[in-house]
């Protein structure tokens, strides 16, 4: 599903940003947006957070392989 892949991509990007903060004390979002308190940075942080929440649902879904009509 497209939404699952988009959410996972955003969550990975957010995780990489947190890794950069932890390792290098560098926040890419804040750097690109002019600070972590700007409205654009806050929107990005919020969207990434929502994506991470969506990814939690991936852990609890049962994936069923689609059946092929061709034998």
Four-point Cα dihedral 44, 50, 55, 56, nearest 10: 140
Q: Is residue 26 in a domain?
A: yes
Q: Which tokens is 5 given? A: 């892949």
Q: Provide the residue-wise pLDDT of the chain in tens; the chain has 71 residues.
A: 899 999 999 999 999 999 999 999 999 999 999 999 999 999 999 999 999 999 999 999 987 756 666 65
User: Per the domain annotation, does 43 fall within a domain?
Assistant: yes
The pLDDT of residue 63: 73
Q: Which domain holds residue 43?
A: 2-59
Residue 66: what pLDDT? 64
Specify the pLDDT at position 3: 95
Give the chain's domain count.
Answer: 1
Establish if 54 belongs to a structural domain. yes
pLDDT for 62 = 84
Q: CA–CA distance from 36 to each of 4, 6, 17, 20, 68 (Å)?
A: 27, 23, 12, 14, 49
Q: Which residues contact 7 (CB under 8 A, 6 or more apart)?
A: 51, 52, 54, 55, 58
């Amino acid at each position: 599903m497209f939404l699952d892949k988009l959410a996972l991509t955003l969550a990975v990007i957010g995780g990489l940003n947190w890794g950069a903060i932890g390792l290098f004390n560098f926040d890419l979002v804040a750097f690109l947006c002019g600070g972590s308190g700007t409205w654009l940075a806050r929107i990005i942080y919020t969207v990434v957070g929502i994506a991470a929440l969506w990814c939690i649902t991936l852990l609890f879904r049962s994936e069923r392989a689609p059946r092929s009509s061709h034998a």
